[in-house]
Amino acid sequence: MKYIKLLRFDLSEGLLKKYKTYIIFAVLIIITFFDCRVRCVIDNVRYSYGEYLMYIFGGSRRYEIELSSPFNLPYLWLLIHILILYFTLNYSPSDLSGHGQQTIYRTGSRLAWWLSKCSWQIITVAAYYAVSWIVLLLLSLIDNADITTTVTHQVFIRIPPGATRIMPETADLSIQLMFMPFLFTASMGLLQLTLCLIVKPIFAYIISALVCISSSYAQSPLLFGNYAMAIRNDNVISDGMNTTVGIISMLTLSVLCITAGALRFRRYDILSKEE
């Protein structure tokens, strides 16, 4: 009951009252839609809903070290994840240094407060993704695009040289395009939330940013961002990342973060908490 009340409060304060950040995010998605639309006119192809999703959440092709080809940052992919992580960074630490202390004192349950914050983190990230999916869906409908999650053109132009494309033309990539990016951002958000109990939020954010950029640079099962890139999935290329392994890894990370945070928060000195 305490948990439900706390979560309701968190959703009101940390989700509904932060509506401006959702507007900013929606504007970014609208811009990327038109960016993608321009490219599809240039390439003379008809895009589907899945193609737009692939353009935004698909990630970048695997980088092969070569003297003549420098590593280019996947700006859009990084911007999406880093922006959500930035929007969700400050709420819990500022709550704890403000009225959160009173809340914990009055409810008498640190565990309920922590679980409420973890749930808030997951729901908030889901809300950002829901905004992007809905905005893209509406724009796709207006644009008369096919509402399917099959992708052909975006895979074709992004596939690394030498990699074997294995995805059949009609394969459904909805899990790779919608669920996996969400799961990655949510698990990174939980990691960030837990790290905020150990270090200052800015350092937690730097760690998250480093995980994102390392993932875009190297294809490794330990760099979870790879699972959030559909273009590196084993349904698309032959030596890609496995979806099931990705789900298990990121869920394990999330559970570990929640547990470690709960244990840490039991003896956490909330009175000396300062910005």
Partner 1 sequence: MLRNEIKRAVFSKMFLFALALMSVFAVLSSIYYIEIGSDYNPGYVERGDNIGDVSGDVYSPDFPTHSLYSAWLGGDVQTLAYTAFFFLFPIGTALPFSWSFYIEQKSGYIKNVLTRTSKNKYYLAKTSAVFISGALVALVPYIINLLMVSSFIPYYYTWAGYIFYNRIYFGAIWSDIFYSNPALHMFLFVLLNTLYGGLYSLISYAISFYSKNILVILITPFIGTLAIGYFEELYYSAHSDIIARYEFDPTRFLHSRSIHFNQNPWVISAITLIIVCFVIGTVWFKGKKYEIY
| Residue ranges in contact with partner 1 by CB under 8 A | 31, 35, 38-39, 42, 65-68, 70-73, 75-76, 78-79, 82-83, 86, 89-90, 201-203, 205-206, 209-210, 213-214, 217-218, 275
Closest distance of CB 172 from partner 1, Å: 28
For partner 1, give the closer residue by CB, 2 or 39: 39
DSSP letter (8 states) at residue 73: P
Cα torsion 157, 159, 164, 169 to 10°: value is: -50
For partner 1, give the closer residue by CB, 213 or 270: 213
Distances (CA, A) of 249 to 157, 187, 205, 246, 255: 29, 10, 21, 5, 10
CB atoms under 10 Å from CB of 35, counted, come to 13
Closest distance of CB 214 from partner 1, Å: 6
* Contact status, residue 51 vs residue 140, Cβ threshold 8 Å: no
For partner 1, give the closer residue by CB, 80 or 237: 80
Closest distance of CB 208 from partner 1, Å: 11
Residue 195, exposed/middle/buried by CB under 10 A (0-12, 13-18, 19+)? Answer: buried
Amino acid at 269: D
For partner 1, give the closer residue by CB, 73 or 245: 73
Closest distance of CB 13 from partner 1, Å: 15
For partner 1, give the closer residue by CB, 33 or 243: 33
Closest distance of CB 35 from partner 1, Å: 5
